[in-house]
């Protein structure tokens, strides 16, 4: 998506006007502080996920492919 969708000028203008785009790696290991709350990576099995991603997605984890 970085190489095809987000570089499209129409998409970029729409996103900038209607959203505050943030790129976040839902499997990052570093803590993240947002709105005074610290979110951490939780290891589960061989992988894991970040509490921030879980909170944003209301527990319905799914990533674009």
Q: How do residues 1-21 score in pLDDT, each as one tens digit?
A: 788 888 899 999 999 999 988
Flag whether pLDDT at 63 surpasses 70.
Answer: no
Residue 22 pLDDT grade (very low, low, confident, very high; cuts 50, 70, 90): confident
User: For the chain, how many structural domains are there in total?
Assistant: 1
Inside any domain, residue 11: no
Neighbours of 54 (CB within 10 A): 15
Distances (CA, A) of 25 to 8, 29, 36, 52: 22, 9, 20, 10
Residue 37 lies in a domain: yes
Would you say residue 34 lies in a domain? yes
pLDDT tens digits for range 26-60: 888 999 999 999 999 999 888 888 999 889 888 78
Residue 20 lies in a domain: no
Domain coverage including residue 31:
25-65
């Amino acid at each position: 998506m970085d190489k095809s969708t987000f570089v499209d000028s129409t998409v970029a203008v729409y996103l900038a006007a209607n959203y505050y785009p943030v790129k976040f790696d839902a499997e990052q290991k570093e803590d993240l502080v947002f709105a005074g709350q610290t979110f951490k990576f939780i290891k589960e099995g061989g992988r894991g996920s970040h509490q921030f991603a879980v909170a944003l997605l209301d527990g319905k984890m799914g990533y674009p492919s």
